[in-house]
Structure 1
Amino acid sequence: MSLNIDLHSHSRQSDGVLSPADVAARAHANGVDWWALSDHDETSGLNEAAQAAHDLGLGFIPGVEISVTFCGKTVHIVGLHIDPADAALAAGLAEIRRGRFDRAGVVAERLAQCGIDGAYEGAMSHVDNPDLISRVHFARDLLERGHVKSLQQAFDRYLGEGKRAFVPVQWASLEQAVGWIHGAGGKAVIAHPGRYKYTPQQRDALFQVFKDLNGEGIEVVTGSHTPAQYEQYARLALQYGFQASRGSDFHAPGVGRVDLGRMPDLPDGLVPVWRDWI
């Protein structure tokens, strides 16, 4: 029987709803053998996650998901098997978090212009870490107060790219993110590549630049991909010589396409990103 490995999940330290220990407990209950916590631009939950995983007998790989700007759009790069104490990584993530905090005030102002007051305070009520306030926290507030009927509608109506309360941010460069991850002893993986609204030429540019930077892998099986995309990105992994990762991108129970640890196995013929660790 193959191991159940989930290398992409989030806790309340970024935009998830469970504590790191509770995410570990859910992974264990769902039959996960090896698990990574990969909060957005934040590593503060990793110690709690590692201890909880140890107590449960669950294999643990420390991770982080870094926000990057490439071709004018946001891309997420997951760093796996990192040393969270690495100074350059910590400094880079701190700078990104400052950008998130500054953006939140502007988002709240734009929502007020749409007739929705108190959005900043409402979003903050869903945040454990004020530096990691995100659009998801605003979406949860809008849903809770009845301004929208679903989280997706919050993005479609207000928070998504091009909508009235969307505020772009210049994140880290791809070169910076990969450099921080490698400097911290980890592997760099492009998260959920099927989500990015790139032209085929832009997507190929992303993959080629990432390869030139010695990026190691891409997520093939992820909660954001359809079964057809599993096969599409398996082919692209082979084409570019990337290792393949598997992760649910879990944020909350009942949210997203699949639960923690409930994805299919990687397609045959791929080199798993965890090959050197497990």
Structure 2
Amino acid sequence: MENLIDLHTHSYISDGSCSPTDVIKAAKKNKLKAISLTDHDSIAGLKEAKIAAEDSNIELINGIEISALYKDGRLLHILGLGIDIHNEYFLNSYNKMKKSREKSVLEILKHIENNHGLSIDINYLHKVKYDEYLSRYDIYRYILENNICTEPQKVWDIYLDPIPYGNDELITVDEAIKMIHEAGGKSYLAHFNKRIGLEGFSFEEIEDNIKYLVSLGLDGIERYYPSYTDDDRRLLDYLVWKYQLYSSGGTDYHGANRGNIEIGFGEGDLKIPYSLIDSLKR
């Protein structure tokens, strides 16, 4: 029997619909050998996920997906896999970012009220938050759960993405890579073909950017992902070979918030081999 994994999943700690425990249960149902919980800019779900994974006999790789500031204001998502979530350097950078984001929530709520006529009580958000710190994800969840907007992506498009991030709310790409390394993990560029990635660049420009990211210490790239085309996969194979990159792979599972994506299998035909974890451990 083939051992399959999923190294890119989200719980309701960020923008998924499932608890960390239910993410693990979904992985067990689909007979996965291992997964990584990689919530956006948060490690708050990993303790619960670890308990559930041990109960389900599934290997859990500690993970995070960092929204990192790149050139010309572009955002890249950097996956950190195999991280020690107690590492002091990692936590210093992480907590600085989280505190800055929590400070901005009140201004974001004012912006939403002024521009959309939607009043959200910050005290209520504090009562129902899943993370230690408040963030845009709590606002996102409130809007969805109260049926103010029922399409997850439109919540970002209409209410949240138009509001720029403030100082210290975004970790730079080089710092994201460094904090992952300090925590004993490896860094991977996620979904290179998306807007939060290298979308819009030619193949030559993508290679130039990968070369630059490797010079910053990037270890690998997400080689398996549901939306990749044959051309994407050919380019990735070339980049992995030329720059000796580690490969990662995941479905970007969000539960019901991305209902066409099934954990471990994407839209039905994705298979991510356990050998990726073997290389991660080496």
Shorter-normalised TM-score: what interval?
0.7 to 0.9
Which shifted more, 189-198 or 250-259?
A: 250-259
Structure 2 gaps of 5+ residues are none
What is the correspondence of 1:1-278 to structure 2 with a 5 Å cutoff? 1-71=1-71, 72-119=73-120, 121=122, 127-129=129-131, 131-134=133-136, 136-160=137-161, 163=162, 166-169=163-166, 170-195=169-194, 196=197, 197=199, 199-200=201-202, 203-223=206-226, 225-228=227-230, 229-253=232-256, 255=258, 257-263=260-266, 264-265=270-271, 272=276, 274-277=278-281
Tell me if structure 2 keeps the 8 A contact 1:234–1:244: no
Question: CA–CA distance in 1 between the matches of 2:208 and 2:107?
Answer: 31
SS of 1:54 mapped into structure 2: helix
- Aligned partner of 1:167: which letter? P
Deviation string 1:241-273 (CA, Å, 9 cap, x unpaired) is: 212111122222352541211131359xxx836
Q: Compute the TM-score of the two structures, normalised by the length of structure 2.
A: 0.82
Question: CA–CA distance in 1 between the matches of 2:260 and 2:234?
Answer: 17
Q: Does the C-alpha gap of structure 1 residues 95 and 203 become closer, same or farther in structure 2, counting only changes over 3 Å?
A: farther
Give how far 1:34 is off. 0.9
Give how far 1:138 is off. 3.0
SS of 1:272 mapped into structure 2: helix
Tell me if structure 2 keeps the 8 A contact 1:12–1:127: no
SS of 1:219 mapped into structure 2: strand
Q: Compute the TM-score of the two structures, normalised by the length of structure 1.
A: 0.83
- Aligned partner of 1:168: which letter? Y
Deviation string 1:172-217 (CA, Å, 9 cap, x unpaired) is: 1222111111111111111121112453476445422321133211
Tell me if structure 1 keeps the 8 A contact 2:6–2:32: yes
Which shifted more, 40-49 or 136-145?
A: 136-145
Question: CA–CA distance in 2 between the matches of 1:252 and 1:62?
Answer: 19
- Report the RMSD for the aligned CA atoms in angstroms: 2.8
SS of 1:194 mapped into structure 2: coil
Q: Which has the higher contact order (CA 8 A, sep 6+)?
A: 2
Give how far 1:7 is off. 0.8
The number of equivalent residue pairs is 269
Structure 1 gaps of 5+ residues are none
Give how far 1:222 is off. 2.3
Q: Does the C-alpha gap of structure 1 residues 262 and 123 become closer, same or farther in structure 2, counting only changes over 3 Å?
A: farther
Tell me if structure 2 keeps the 8 A contact 1:69–1:174: yes
SS of 2:281 mapped into structure 1: coil
Deviation string 1:25-51 (CA, Å, 9 cap, x unpaired) is: 111112211111122232232232222
Question: CA–CA distance in 1 between the matches of 2:225 and 2:134?
Answer: 23
- Aligned partner of 1:275: which letter? S
- Aligned partner of 1:33: which letter? K
Tell me if structure 1 keeps the 8 A contact 2:5–2:272: no
Q: Does the C-alpha gap of structure 1 residues 251 and 266 become closer, same or farther in structure 2, counting only changes over 3 Å?
A: closer
Tell me if structure 2 keeps the 8 A contact 1:33–1:58: yes
Q: Does the C-alpha gap of structure 1 residues 126 and 256 become closer, same or farther in structure 2, counting only changes over 3 Å?
A: farther
Q: Sequence identity of aligned pairs in percent?
A: 26
